[in-house]
Structure 1
Amino acid sequence: MKLTTASLALFALCSLSVNAWGPLGHSTVAAVALRYLRPEALEQTRTILSYGATEEQTLVTVANWADSYRKTKEGKYSYFYHFIDVNDEPLKGNCNVNMTRDCSKEKGCIVTAIANYTSRATDATLGTAQTAEALRFLTHLFGDIHQPLHNEGAEEGGNRIPVLFDGKPSNLHRAWDNDKIQDFFGNYTIEKAQMWAQRISREINRDGGIYHEKPEKWAFCQNLNHPTACALEWSTETNRLNCEFVYAKDPTNEELNDGFYPDWIFVIEKQVARGGVRLAAWLNLIFTGSTGFDASSALTVMDDVRMVDNYA
């Protein structure tokens, strides 16, 4: 089923989104990371994030804060921190990130935002409230940088590309952010994020799991002295998916949820897993100085965050 560009254009133009993965995806990135924090990092992130709060806070509970904050008067400056407008041509198979071309020096972008908040999270001269803010941003941005269309400028990251999802008007960006995840899991709850993280963790931990041999490679780039280099590497990797998958065929006006993207949910899941593994490794490096990826803490964290193992 297709609709004409004219019938969908207004909807697409009025539905601009920068909510990578939606609340479920972001919470799952955080829940995956929480499983692989070393005990010292787990305790420090809890203490810092809970500063001034009435209830204990974790990576999962703050995972969507940055999306709410950017919509406030105080937080509108952070709008551009959630993406990088890569000026390439994915429909022609040309995907590449160029910081000089793509990242505004005045407004910033997701690459420089990750670098900035990494520096702030490691700055001992800052107060606890400022460190907590840096952690909230990092938790969210590690999700954003693994969403392909947050590393793409064509048609405003797909926001201006009208598509159909189950016969209803949507746009390409929204379909990747929310539509497919919600179609697969239903409406967002913390419990669903925990179950999704449980599945990902199981595939990381078990011999023969589909992600078992991946985390060491995913967490390879760890350099707190030059965080821009790692963030740029992740952005470049994610941007390539626009050529390899998102724009491998022109999605304009197409029905996306009828097999247009083969194995779509698993492409999304792999990116969510990457984001969680890298966030854990990054925070372990910040708070313990430990490099690489360590799955040994997964069992202790699993009980601590009360994960539910009934994901189907």
Structure 2
Amino acid sequence: MRPTLLKAYAVTAAAGLASLPGALAWGAAGHEIVATIAQIHLHPLVLTEVCNILYPGSGVAASEGEPPCYISRVATWADQVRRQPQYRYTASLHYIGAVDDHPSQTCTFPGEGGWAGKTDANVFGAIRNVTGVLEDYTLGMVDHARAEESMKFLIHFMGDMHMPLHLTGRERGGNGAKVTFDGRVTNLHSLWDGLLIAQALRTIPSNYTRALPAGKSSVDIESHLRGTIYDPYVRRLMYEGFGTEVVLGRFSTEYDDWLSCPAVEPSSAWSTAQEMLGIQRTKDEARWDDDVLCPYNWAKDLHKLNCDLPIWPRELDEPQRKHAALAISAREEVHDEDEFFESYAAGRRPRPHPDLVELDTPEYAGQIRAQWIVERLLAMAGIRLAGLLNGLFLDVESLNSTSKFPILRGV
């Protein structure tokens, strides 16, 4: 890992469509939105390098007004291949679960029982590993094929880590927790994978269906959009979230800190001082985190949402709710955005399930919308992905030659 480069050259900014793909993890739309936000914040030279890795031998080069590629096209690759024999080992790399974690009653990270599964066979270890492979690639120690695979995994795993239900093992991250949403039976994981995003897409103000006028953003957004149903969502997230040089966005006072990691100082003097202050660096933290890439520390606050929002409704632990959930057939569940939209379009009335917890309410979905929880998670994942890639592939000469790009963190 090159912490100096990763820290110093992470670049960001202050700042009738294609059909929606089916849901995977974060949903295909969620993963592609994360990748699009990351691409908007990539230095042009870094984007070209990333595209050359993802599409080897294609000689990608940006046409006027177009990027050399769209990294969102590979954002769901890791989900698509994990059932293939050669990639079955990656199934556990999309999530992590603590043994004694039980939201919304108890959110432990990880607690005395530690983590479920094999050491490092989780999303934290995966992010650390594939980032290390890409670092080795920049040093000429890894071939192109392995770098391409690792790039695809990194793009996907950074999205997975920012979906809080990927950070708890209870009910397989909510897959076994049946609820209703607008009366339609689904499960908690599917709701967060895509149905909340699908609902948000139906309420985007019409002005975001058109390209943002000049001056509405301090970075190029439009060239990185590829004509998808979520383009208006990205425009709104960028404009209202990151703001402009004259308009304060929802994230304006916080996104600087999204790449921050706790200082890691190996000296014995520092370690002694930490011990005196009662600060202990856990084995997990030492294994997965450094002062630039720290998935363990990033995820601690994300995991808290399972209890603090709470993402995991406390009502699910009521005895009558548990009994009702067991009686629901899997065939009644809505799992992805396409089903959700089709159900609305066809005017199908859902079968009543009053004993299940309804989550399309002002207290649940309404609070998530009002606090921009989903949008913040998607933006955070995109910024961190961009920061890592910029740090890996941007050198001092390139930075000096394009000083118009603001620096997220200085040396």
Q: Give the TM-score of the pair, scaled to structure 1.
A: 0.79
Give the equivalent residue in structure 1 for 2:146. 130
Give the equivalent residue in structure 1 for 2:261. 221
Please, which moves more after superposition, 227-236 or 117-126?
A: 227-236
| Corresponding letter in the other structure for 2:392 | I
SS at match of 1:176: helix
* Aligned partner of 1:280 among 362, 378, 386: 386
Give the equivalent residue in structure 1 for 2:72. 60
* Aligned partner of 1:121 among 103, 120, 134: 134
CA shift, 1:154, in A, is 1.2
* 2-structure distance, mates of 1:93, 1:99: 13
Is 2:109 the partner of 1:109?
no
* 1-structure distance, mates of 2:147, 2:231: 26
Residues 39 and 297, structure 1, Cα contact 8 Å, conserved in 2: no
RMSD: 3.0
1:77-226 to structure 2, matched below 5 A, reads 77-87=89-99, 88-97=101-110, 101-102=114-115, 104-105=117-118, 108-123=121-136, 124-185=140-201, 191-202=228-239, 203-206=241-244, 207-221=247-261
* 2-structure distance, mates of 1:295, 1:61: 29
| Corresponding letter in the other structure for 1:90 | P
Q: Quick one: structure 1 residues 105 and 25, their matched pair in 2 at CA, closer, same or farther if it must change by over 3 Å?
A: same
The one-character-per-residue Cα deviations of 1:130-163 (angstroms, maximum 9, x if unpaired) are 1111111010111100001000111111111110
Is 2:52 the partner of 1:47?
yes
1:232-243 to structure 2, matched below 5 A, reads 232-243=296-307
Give the equivalent residue in structure 1 for 2:358. 255
* 2-structure distance, mates of 1:148, 1:26: 14
Runs of 4+ with deviation above 4 angstroms: 52-57, 294-298
Is 2:313 the partner of 1:244?
no
Say how many residue pairs are matched. 276
Q: Quick one: structure 1 residues 161 and 34, their matched pair in 2 at CA, closer, same or farther if it must change by over 3 Å?
A: same
The one-character-per-residue Cα deviations of 1:218-239 (angstroms, maximum 9, x if unpaired) are 111399xx78210111221211
Structure 1 gaps of 5+ residues are 1-17, 299-312
* 2-structure distance, mates of 1:227, 1:42: 29
Residues 80 and 107, structure 1, Cα contact 8 Å, conserved in 2: no
* 2-structure distance, mates of 1:212, 1:191: 26
CA shift, 1:99, in A, is 10
Is 2:36 the partner of 1:20?
no
* 2-structure distance, mates of 1:231, 1:102: 15
CA shift, 1:116, in A, is 0.6
Radius of gyration: which is bigger? 2
* 1-structure distance, mates of 2:121, 2:58: 29
Give the equivalent residue in structure 2 for 1:271. 377
The one-character-per-residue Cα deviations of 1:172-191 (angstroms, maximum 9, x if unpaired) are 111111222123326xx952
SS at match of 1:280: helix
* 2-structure distance, mates of 1:25, 1:126: 30
Residues 75 and 152, structure 2, Cα contact 8 Å, conserved in 1: yes
CA shift, 1:296, in A, is 5.7
* 1-structure distance, mates of 2:108, 2:403: 33
Give the equivalent residue in structure 2 for 1:70. 82
CA shift, 1:46, in A, is 1.1
* 2-structure distance, mates of 1:227, 1:40: 31
Identity, in percent, stands at 28
* 2-structure distance, mates of 1:150, 1:295: 38
Residues 26 and 163, structure 2, Cα contact 8 Å, conserved in 1: yes
Structure 2 gaps of 5+ residues are 1-22, 61-67, 203-225, 264-285, 322-355, 397-401, 407-411
Give the equivalent residue in structure 2 for 1:38. 43
* 2-structure distance, mates of 1:76, 1:198: 36
* 1-structure distance, mates of 2:227, 2:78: 17
